[in-house]
Every structure is written in C-alpha cells, then in structure tokens.
C-alpha cells in the first residue's frame, strides 16, 4: 500500500504502531515533545539519511512530522525527488496535541523553545534594534526593521522561513553527529 501524501490526525492515531515516524524538527524541539516512537532526523540532515529512509520504506510506510506541517512537506518533497514515498502529518505536532493526544517527553530533556518561537524572538529583537538605532544613531538603521518585515511577508507568501533555516544551524538546534548516527542505526533496525 502506498501512503498518501498527507495523513489526518485520526488516520495517524489508528496507524501509529505500524508507521515509521520521522520528526524533522530540530533536536531541541524534538526533545520538547514528539510523537511516541518517532525518530529525529532534522530537515537539514535529511539528505544524509536518504538511503536509510529508502530502506525503511521496504518495511513500512514513512510518516514525516514537524510542528505545523511546513518542514515535513519540504522533507516529503526532497524524498519524492529521490523516489522515496512518504506522507506528512496534517497540522504537525501542533494539531496532534490540539486533538488531545500526548507527546512523548523524555525525562531530563532540557527545556527548549520551538522554532516558531525562536523566529518571533529574533525577528522582534531585530525590529526593535533597528527602530532604536534609527532613533538614537542614524535613521538608516531602520532598514533593519524594514528588512525583517519584508522577510516575514516573503516567508508567509512562500511558506518558507530563511530565519528559521539560519536559527536551525545554531549549536542548540543541531544534533550531535553521534546522535544522528544513533538515530540512523535505529531506523535501520525498524
């Protein structure tokens, strides 16, 4: 059976035990709560995992998950370009919890902010900085605020986020090489 391009919450809940679930959020977001049994392969590392994901499709249907569905759709596009069939969870973990389902939170996992919250903090900080510097130093600094505003509009229109991509590269948001190797080994065992 071929997995459709998107699974609703109720379909996922009914099939969770048979799906190979890959969470493409950052390690910090994943540690903050993820679907039970899911494996963390951040979106920016998906290329490295292509061979293992392809082999996993021989053993079952693959479901790609993120916070809202945008990153998982991008991951599914990358997989499709490499002839790997996968579905995305409609609405992501946000929809999963809104429907009353729990996320698995490892004991002792560090508290972390989701990528959307990190983007809001960074964008807001740069906008305020641009306005303050524009008032106190030189009006040209207001270009910072205008640049962030333009970036947010572009982000909304294209359903992409360059700032999130940059923030994902920060050490707190990146997996250790050993963690990714362990995740890929676990994927091979499924």
Catalytic residues: 66
Is residue 166 within 8 Å of residue 155, measured between CB atoms?
A: no
What does the alpha-carbon distance between residue 53 and residue 46 come to, in Å, rounded to a whole number? 9
What does the alpha-carbon distance between residue 3 and residue 105 come to, in Å, rounded to a whole number? 27
Residues pairing with 34 in the sheet: 104
Q: What is the CA radius of gyration of the chain?
A: 18
Sign of CA dihedral 102, 183, 175, 69: negative
Closest by Cα among 23, 11, 185 to 115: 23
Q: Which two tokens stand for residue 21?
A: 């679930």
CB burial of residue 69 (10 Å; 0-12, 13-18, 19+):
buried
Q: How far is CA 7 from the centre of its chain?
A: 17
């Amino acid at each position: 059976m071929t997995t459709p391009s998107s699974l609703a919450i109720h379909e996922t809940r009914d099939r969770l035990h048979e799906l190979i679930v890959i969470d493409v959020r950052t390690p910090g977001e994943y540690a903050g709560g993820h679907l039970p049994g899911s494996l963390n392969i951040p979106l920016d590392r998906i290329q490295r995992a292509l061979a293992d994901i392809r082999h996993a499709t021989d053993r079952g249907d693959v479901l790609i998950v993120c916070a809202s569905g945008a990153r998982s759709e991008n991951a599914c596009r990358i997989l499709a370009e490499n002839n790997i069939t996968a579905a995305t969870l409609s609405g992501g973990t946000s929809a999963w919890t809104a429907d009353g389902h729990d996320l698995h939170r490892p004991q002792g996992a560090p508290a972390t902010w989701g990528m959307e919250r990190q983007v809001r903090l960074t964008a807001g900080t740069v906008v305020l900085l641009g306005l303050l510097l524009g008032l106190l130093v030189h009006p040209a600094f207001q270009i910072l605020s205008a640049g962030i505003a333009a970036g947010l509009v572009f982000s909304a229109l294209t359903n992409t986020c360059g700032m999130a991509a940059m923030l994902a590269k920060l050490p707190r948001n990146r997996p250790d090489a050993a963690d990714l190797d362990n995740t890929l080994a676990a994927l091979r065992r499924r």
